[in-house]
Structure 1
Amino acid sequence: MLPTTNSQPPFALTRASHVSLAVTDLEASRDFYRDVVGLVVTEETEDAVYLRGLEESSHHSLVLERGAAAKALRVGLRVRTYADITAAEKYFASSGIEHERVERAHQGPTLQFTDPVGTRMELTSSMDQVQRKMQNFDEFVSGAPQRIDHYQVVTHDVQTATDFWTGLGMRMSEYTASDGTDELWGTWMEVKGNTHDLVFTNGVGPRLHHFAFTVPDASSLLHAADVAGALGFGEEIDRGPGRHGISNALFLYLRDPDQHRIELFTTHYQFIDLEEVPIRWDVSNPKRAQLWGMPASRRWFFEASEFPDSTLHEPLLHANPQTLEQFLGVH
């Protein structure tokens, strides 16, 4: 069933903002995101590394934290003002949503909560500011990521996740559904005017499938692939380069030393005007994920990063997507 966006949400979300990962080798992960991906290191401490894109003036969009096990710690969104943090607290309290006000380095008021399908989320209204490097072209290395754009979360219940987030003001730009129906298998939702800030897809969840940064152009994707190969990470190219049907973006997926997945992609089309309606894709249509080339591998479809202390649930809808191995007849 298609959701209805709440045009007067209880607080104002503005964009995808930052993601926090637990990594088992902090130095190796720092080197990967700096040298193979091309992110900027803003700050390092004994137990954390803060990184950002070249365009970003916020202190960080990716936080790596030293941990005993690789986990997706939190998915971060920005709200407009401090008043939205207090409004979110009131809303979550009245709705029975688990939440907690916390102190996070270099962030303003921060509220952590768990959504109804188990996604570990974090809201903040401000961050320390640093110098943008968008014209420091001598520092554009590898894919030269510009800014964080979105997240994709695997969930056992796409409908519940979608209803919750559209209730908070997100708009669905595209979706996949059972052939000939509106039974939701995946939803692409936005608040900032392109096709998505937050995506939910059907599968064992809750798990973070990937987080994504924009790059300047197609040549940046190819250069990132070349750099990954040159630095010994060629086998960690998880998918691509290719072009998605959904969102129309060129993409490249990479796995870090702990197998967290990052996407580099060229930016999406605009989805701003309220009269625009979501684009629907049959779940059986392979062009939804790849307009040209072969399907993704088994690991792209079925592997993702778990959240700490989360109970995994089998999906309500069961699918058998065609994998690269099936396409090639490889077992």
Structure 2
Amino acid sequence: MLPPVDLRPPFNITRTSHVVLHVADLAKSREFYVNVIGLVVSDEDDQTCYLRGLAEACHHSLVLVQTNGEATCKRLGFRVFFEEDLDLAYQFFRSEGLPAEWVEVAHQGRTLHVSDPIGTKIELCATMETRERQYLNREIFKGAHAQRLDHVQIFAPDAYALCEFYSRLGFRNSEYLAHGDKLLGAFMYRKGTCLDLAIVENEGPCLHHFAYTVSESHNIFDACDFAGIYGYGTEVERGPGRHGPGGMLFVYLRDPDGHRIEIFNSHYQTIDIEIEPVRWDAGSLSTSVRWGLPAPTRWYFEATKFEAVPLIPAVQKPNPETLESYVQKQLLAKNNV
């Protein structure tokens, strides 16, 4: 069902590091991420804003870049452990016939731009400038008090094939979604918790969401309250609820450009080698458990495109139970009583 994992991969990715997004109105997006999500600004100018969570020492986990065009995702960032891992990564991607080029990126050490087999744009670095952690400076806290970037989720046209690629890079599965023998979703990690990279089968590559942790469960409701205060009440897209995979409380919101962000409270550790991945029946592709309504249709199908990357149709198009289909089914049942 799951591809084998290379536990001694060709280079050592340690965690999800950062997300770089195009935005149509930098000031408006800054306001959303500071006042609703609770991130802090590390540096900014009239074209770029660098943000981080309250518990993050590294310079940025989210970069907002002003654009006059489409609001796409420019890059997903991963950290590697040593500088030499960058050289090994360069050799690996070139040997696979995949793009790899050295670039200069502000506030980061030596940086490598690569693409995976479906075209997902990735940025690798080993070091980044640091700033003082702000998690004890409660007088500056705003919004949902977001602590740190935890993971990203992408759409891929063939979930198994891309899971196989990242398994070769040392990513292990904590849990997965399957229907019969068909893998539809893989929850993969490097840092020893449930997630760094989630892969779900759908037209892609696209960024479905990126997720920040919060320390207190009530901060999830704070995100909803501040979304309403700042005019984004209708962009509280899914939840609050509790996931089955990972077991965490969550809410999903859409930012001014429609980029999707998840706020969630925590998940378990997966460091030990004997831990086996947990299988979830994905006949409906629902990742809620025990309580909470299904997600709306747009949560399953809308996502952020990557800059200048063509979309590939999915091998198997999702057919989940959505909020709309659930309500319709309940109305039909009521009318038939």
TM-score, normalisation: structure 2: 0.95
Matches within 5 A, 1:139-218: 139-179=140-180, 181=181, 183-218=182-217
Q: Are the counterparts in 2 of residues 117 and 157 from structure 1 also a CA contact under 8 Å?
A: no
**What is the alpha-carbon distance in structure 2 between the residues aligned to residue 54 and residue 24 of structure 1?**
25
Query: Which amino acid in 1 is paired with 2:151?
Result: H
Residue matched to 2:59 = 59
Query: Which amino acid in 2 is paired with 1:31?
Result: E
Spell out, residue by residue over 1:108-146, the C-alpha distance to the aligned partner (whole angstroms, 9 max, x if none). Answer: 111111101221111110000101001111222211000
Query: Which amino acid in 2 is paired with 1:10?
Result: P
Residue matched to 1:79 = 80
Query: Which amino acid in 1 is paired with 2:218?
Result: S
Spell out, residue by residue over 1:67-106, the C-alpha distance to the aligned partner (whole angstroms, 9 max, x if none). Answer: 1220011010000011110111111111211111110000
Residue matched to 1:5 = 5
**What is the alpha-carbon distance in structure 2 between the residues aligned to residue 52 and residue 287 of structure 1?**
30
Cα separation, partners in 2 of 1:103 and 1:286, compared to 1, 3 Å: closer
Residue matched to 2:109 = 108
Spell out, residue by residue over 1:142-163, the C-alpha distance to the aligned partner (whole angstroms, 9 max, x if none). Answer: 1100000000001101111101
**What is the alpha-carbon distance in structure 1 between the residues aligned to residue 125 and residue 284 of structure 2?**
38
Q: Are the counterparts in 2 of residues 244 and 291 from structure 1 also a CA contact under 8 Å?
A: no
Residue matched to 1:130 = 131
Q: CA deviation at 1:24?
A: 0.7
**What is the alpha-carbon distance in structure 2 between the residues aligned to residue 269 and residue 261 of structure 1?**
23
**What is the alpha-carbon distance in structure 2 between the residues aligned to residue 160 and residue 98 of structure 1?**
18
Residue matched to 2:250 = 251
Q: CA deviation at 1:319?
A: 2.5
Which runs of no fewer than 5 residues in structure 1 stay unpaired? none
Matches within 5 A, 1:274-285: 274-284=273-283
Q: Do residues 301 (structure 1) and 310 (structure 2) align? A: no
Matches within 5 A, 1:225-244: 225-244=224-243
**What is the alpha-carbon distance in structure 2 between the residues aligned to residue 289 and residue 257 of structure 1?**
26
SS in 2 for 1:329: helix
SS in 1 for 2:163: helix
Cα separation, partners in 2 of 1:210 and 1:286, compared to 1, 3 Å: closer
Spell out, residue by residue over 1:244-275, the C-alpha distance to the aligned partner (whole angstroms, 9 max, x if none). Answer: 00111100111011000011101111111100
Residue matched to 2:92 = 91
**What is the alpha-carbon distance in structure 2 between the residues aligned to residue 305 and residue 284 of structure 1?**
25
Q: Do residues 38 (structure 1) and 38 (structure 2) align? A: yes
**What is the alpha-carbon distance in structure 2 between the residues aligned to residue 282 and residue 324 of structure 1?**
19
**What is the identity percentage for the equivalent residue pairs of Structure 1 and Structure 2?**
45
Q: Are the counterparts in 2 of residues 152 and 198 from structure 1 also a CA contact under 8 Å?
A: yes
Q: Are the counterparts in 2 of residues 150 and 211 from structure 1 also a CA contact under 8 Å?
A: yes
Q: Are the counterparts in 1 of residues 108 and 128 from structure 2 also a CA contact under 8 Å?
A: yes
Query: Which amino acid in 2 is paired with 1:29?
Result: S
Query: Which amino acid in 1 is paired with 2:139?
Result: D
Query: Which amino acid in 1 is paired with 2:29?
Result: S
Query: Which amino acid in 2 is paired with 1:60?
Result: H
Residue matched to 2:272 = 273
* Larger mean Cα displacement after TM superposition, 240-249 or 134-143: 134-143
Q: Are the counterparts in 2 of residues 244 and 287 from structure 1 also a CA contact under 8 Å?
A: no
**What is the alpha-carbon distance in structure 2 between the residues aligned to residue 24 and residue 316 of structure 1?**
32
Q: CA deviation at 1:293?
A: 1.1
**What is the alpha-carbon distance in structure 2 between the residues aligned to residue 41 and residue 249 of structure 1?**
27
Query: Which amino acid in 1 is paired with 2:304?
Result: S
Which runs of no fewer than 5 residues in structure 2 stay unpaired? 332-337
Q: CA deviation at 1:290?
A: 4.1
**What is the alpha-carbon distance in structure 2 between the residues aligned to residue 85 and residue 286 of structure 1?**
36
Query: Which amino acid in 2 is paired with 1:149?
Result: D
Query: Which amino acid in 1 is paired with 2:44?
Result: E
SS in 2 for 1:327: helix
RMSD: 1.3
Q: CA deviation at 1:289?
A: 3.2
**What is the alpha-carbon distance in structure 1 between the residues aligned to residue 234 and residue 316 of structure 2?**
31
Query: Which amino acid in 1 is paired with 2:186?
Result: T
Residue matched to 1:327 = 326
**What is the alpha-carbon distance in structure 2 between the residues aligned to residue 319 and residue 64 of structure 1?**
31
